[in-house]
Structure 1
Amino acid sequence: MTSHITPDHVHPGDILKGVVSGIVDFGAYVDLGGVEGLIDRLEVSWNRQEVSAILHVGQEVTVQVLDADVRHGAIRLSLRALFPDPILEFAREKLGAIVPARISYTGPIGVLAEVADGLTGLIQPRLQETSPGDPQRKLRLGDHVFVEVISVNSQERRIGLRLSASPSATP
């Protein structure tokens, strides 16, 4: 980096360029040109990919400062804060709609279906046992189905779904 930054010149909300200097299980360190900050793994991307699938050592990145503790020299950074939250866009466009989905999990908590890249919803437990039009059909991992998006809670990052027969069955 060409500029030299000190911790007392870094403030929450600042947008800075840096270079990834290390990848760890819990995130990535970024050299901001004189001071190092940490991007927590949850702040790397809106979807839950591994940090090493998105970032690599030596990669130049633009980050937003979440918190800067001058006394301890700890700087918390975010990469995802610079991009719109996909769940908000999904809610605006798809709430109440019938969309294609792929079953991504079946287990004790219920059935989860991927409705968009990185977005998964829960098929409501009382509505997951069978598929419309085929009361004997059980949902299995990898099945392609249509679901109605019945709720989106962006704060808790939860999407509620109900099985649907087809996209033409929109109410």
Structure 2
Amino acid sequence: MEDVPASESRQAFLRTVEKGQVRRGTISSVSDVDALVDLGGVDGLLRTPEVSWQPREVPLDQVLRVGQDVTVTVLDVDADRDWLTVSLKSLQDDPFREFARTHLGHVVSGRVTKVATIGAFVRVHEHVEGLLPASELTEREGDAQPVAFGDVLVVEVADINLDRRRVKLLLRDVG
């Protein structure tokens, strides 16, 4: 049996792999911003945003390790450029969609993560932040202190836009 040159076997693989396929692979290289997944002689690029739904607070090379077995979804195949991209995140439950199914109209408490001119961003679930518009903040009766980073507020989940991944909050009084 004759050996097939590496470039030919790579091209053959890229012709058979399709966007949306789920494949097993092994992490072959990791940097602090991306990783390569060996899918059987062809590496797929795994960018940081495609690793997890969790915000990345540590470098990627502290989360993944060379030799780690993974299951990924093929996001894009470019046989002309001899390239493909993959995702771990696409096989995980989306916490935003779960939040949307269960929290619309509910009153919850959350911690302010950022204050901007448009309002305050409030973490209302493990991986979900919502915007409390500035107009809601100006209506706070008897509050001489502006909202600050770290404050805990009681808010109502007033609107959820799944396409834009946005949550609008309304301020609610405690008690």
TM category, shorter: 0.7 to 0.9
1:162 equivalent in alignment to 2:163: no
Aligned to 1:93: 102
Rounded Cα–Cα distance in structure 2 between residues aligned with 1:47 and 1:129: 32
For residues 72-111 of structure 1, what are the structure 2 equivalents within 5 Å? 72-111=81-120
Rounded Cα–Cα distance in structure 2 between residues aligned with 1:75 and 1:164: 48
Rounded Cα–Cα distance in structure 1 between residues aligned with 2:21 and 2:160: 30
Residues 71, 88 of structure 2: 8 Å contact kept: yes
> What residue ranges of structure 1 are gaps of 5+ in the alignment?
none
User: The residue matched to 1:49 in structure 2 has which SS?
Assistant: coil
Rounded Cα–Cα distance in structure 2 between residues aligned with 1:94 and 1:100: 12
1:59 equivalent in alignment to 2:103: no
| Greater radius of gyration (CA) | 2
User: The residue matched to 1:128 in structure 2 has which SS?
Assistant: helix
Could you report, residue by residue, the CA deviation over 1:19-68 in whole angstroms, capped at 9, with x for unpaired residues? Answer: 12223454221111210001222222223215515323332211001111
Specify whether residues 150 and 105 from structure 1 end up closer, same or farther in structure 2 by C-alpha distance, changes over 3 A only: same
Rounded Cα–Cα distance in structure 2 between residues aligned with 1:57 and 1:131: 52
1:16 equivalent in alignment to 2:18: no
Percent identity of equivalent pairs: 36
Rounded Cα–Cα distance in structure 1 between residues aligned with 2:117 and 2:64: 34
> What residue ranges of structure 2 are gaps of 5+ in the alignment?
1-8
Specify whether residues 84 and 143 from structure 1 end up closer, same or farther in structure 2 by C-alpha distance, changes over 3 A only: same
1:142 equivalent in alignment to 2:145: no
Could you report, residue by residue, the CA deviation over 1:95-153 in whole angstroms, capped at 9, with x for unpaired residues? Answer: 11001100111133421110111211110120023646x43342111111111001111
What value does the CA root-mean-square deviation take over the aligned residues? 2.2
The amino acid across from 1:128 in the alignment is L
**TM-score, normalised by the number of residues in structure 1:** 0.84
Aligned to 1:70: 79
**TM-score, normalised by the number of residues in structure 2:** 0.82
Deviation at 1:86, TM superposition (A): 1.4
Q: Aligned residue pairs: how many?
A: 163
